[in-house]
Structure 1
Amino acid sequence: TDSSSGVVSAVARGAPIVTVSTNGALPYQLIALPSIKSPTELKGKIVGSSRIGAGTDFLLRRILAKLGFIVGKDVSLIPTGVSESDKRIQLMFQGKIDATIGESDKVFQFAELGGQKISVLGEPKDFGVPSPGSEINTTRQFLKELRPRLKAFFMAYSEAIAAGRKNKELTYQVFRKYMRVENSKLLDFTHRVQFLDAIPAKPYPREDAIQASIEDLRESTPKLEGMKATDFFDASLIKEIDNDGFFTRLGKP
């Protein structure tokens, strides 16, 4: 797996890979100090990303542009050098930045479990912006020569997603074992965000996220000129499974 920007960059350099499915969008939220009540109040403020060229940097630039802000004029966007959401939130409370983008589970832990007041200004989709995520990729040769094996994998993968959506307790057991999560509120929140919101029941490649990555990288990667999202993904395998009625059967009680 890799982000759509990683795939776009690799293909532009000649890598024979293709996106065939997705783990869904990362559950990000635009957050700010509690004194900032709406996105428009970010004008004149300092927004912190992780680093220049990172997914959070591109995501914030897209959101700020949708809000009508010009970076460097209406709002300052600075690279904090910090990739972890929780550490950027700490920078916010230290007064070094006014806002940032954070993973929703980290925001939940600060706000709901830690009692910290955080202003949640919205999710990327609220601003008409696709969120980066984890895309599932393979080589075009593997897709062609070992298609039945890939099909079996995605059927098993989709069955696991369906089980996670239907069976909370099973999901909680996995979270407890592998994520070391014990808090009941956090377990419930993580299940809802990951299995009901982020991971799609039909894991088609996310064309909008791939196209956004092309636009993000076009200026720094001249080889992307003239390329479009369909050059980077192949949805035929998921479509084949869908046409077989597999997802419909999984969705039944």
Structure 2
Amino acid sequence: LLSKYGLEAAKDVPFVQIGGMPELTAALTKKTVVAAPMSQPMVYVAQQAGLRMIANLAKEEIPFLHMGLTTSKKWLRERRPQAKAFIRAYGRALYFMHTRKEETLAIFAKYTKINDRGMLDGSIQYGYDFMEKVPLVKAQAFQVTLDQIARTNPKAKQAKPEQFFDNSLVQELINEGFFAKLWGKNP
């Protein structure tokens, strides 16, 4: 986000290690810091405390990996059908989340023990914003991560994003029409 606006981390914007989301919210409220990265549901809590969001990464169109599913090449090779079934189940869960909001909120409430509707809505919105309907890893998003690592590890400059992810299962599901059938079109 900083580089998009011509700023350099550490040079133009000092970073202070504070702790987790509750500690960041407290530091913002006490004006110990002027800004902090946050995700839901703490964004909602911060807004309820009178703080304002100055940037929403979901709206900035910056390629970035927000989450990933990870395993070893060996496990994937030995259990490919199970891995594919998992991706299929994940795709169905995303579809459920997008098409059955009230049921999704009830599930979130049950497992997070959060009863505040604003916090729940924010958490669901986070999923809508950052969880791709077709979960392909984008090379340019992984490159951002490699570029960050390269600042402290020169070996990362020689690495190619494709060395670190495998989209073959998702691509198989695309080719089989799984996502098109699920969403009624290619999302």
TM tier, shorter chain? Answer: 0.7 to 0.9
Contact 1:162-1:250 at 8 Å conserved across structures: yes
Q: 2:154 aligns with which of 190, 206, 222?
A: 222
Q: Distance in 2 between matches of 1:69 and 1:238?
A: 36
> Matched residues in 2 for 1:228 and 1:125: separation?
25
Question: C-alpha distance in 2, partners of 1:119/1:131?
Answer: 23
For structure 2, the residue ranges without an aligned partner over 5 or more in a row are none
Residue 214 of structure 1: SS of its match in structure 2?
A: helix
Segments of 4+ in structure 1 off by > 6 A? none
| Alpha carbons of structure 1 residues 156 and 110: separation in structure 2 relative to 1, 3 Å | same
Give distance in 1, aligned partners of 2:80 and 2:70.
13
Contact 2:143/2:161, CA 8 A, preserved across alignment: yes
Tell me which moved more, 217-226 or 97-106. 217-226
Retained in 2: the 8 A contact 1:124–1:131? no
For the pair 1:237 / 2:173, whether they are aligned, the reply is: no
Structure 1: how far apart are the matches of 2:10 and 2:98? 43
**Shift in CA distance, 88/219, structure 1 to aligned 2, threshold 3 Å:** same
* Distance (Å, rounded) in 2 between the aligned partners of 1:104 and 1:160: 19
> In the alignment, does 2:7 pair up with 1:69?
yes
C-alpha separation in 1, matches of 2:46 and 2:56: 17
Tell me the equivalent position of 2:74: 141
Counterpart CA distance in 2 for 1:245 and 1:96 is: 52
Which residue, out of 27, 39, 51, partners 1:91? 27
Q: CA deviation at 1:126?
A: 4.6
Distance of aligned partners of 1:246 and 1:190 in 2 relative to their CA distance in 1, 3 Å threshold: same
2:121 & 2:9 partners in 1: Cα distance?
37
Aligned AA (2:89): A
Greater strand proportion: 1
Instruction: Please say if residues 80 and 88 of structure 1, whose CA atoms lie closer than 8 Å, have aligned partners that are also in contact.
Output: no
Find out whether 1:100 has 2:36 as its counterpart: yes
Query: Aligned-pair distance for 1:188?
Result: 2.7
- Aligned CA distance change for structure 1 residues 137 and 67 (closer, same or farther; 3 Å): same
Moved more, 126-135 or 177-186: 126-135
1:1-253 equivalences under 5 Å are 63-71=1-9, 73=11, 75-82=12-19, 84-111=20-47, 114=48, 116-124=49-57, 126-194=59-127, 196-252=128-184
**Percent identity between the two aligned chains:** 24
Structure 1 or 2: more helix by fraction: 2
1:124–1:130 Cα contact (<8 Å) kept: no
C-alpha contact 1:164 1:171 (8 A) present in aligned 2? yes
Q: Is the 8 A contact 2:58 2:130 kept in 1?
A: no
- Residue type of the alignment partner of 1:145: E
Cα distance in 1 between the residues matched to 2:111 and 2:80: 31
Structure-2 separation of matches of 1:117 and 1:100 = 14
Given the two structures, how large is their TM-score scaled by the length of structure 2?
0.86
Q: CA deviation at 1:89?
A: 2.1
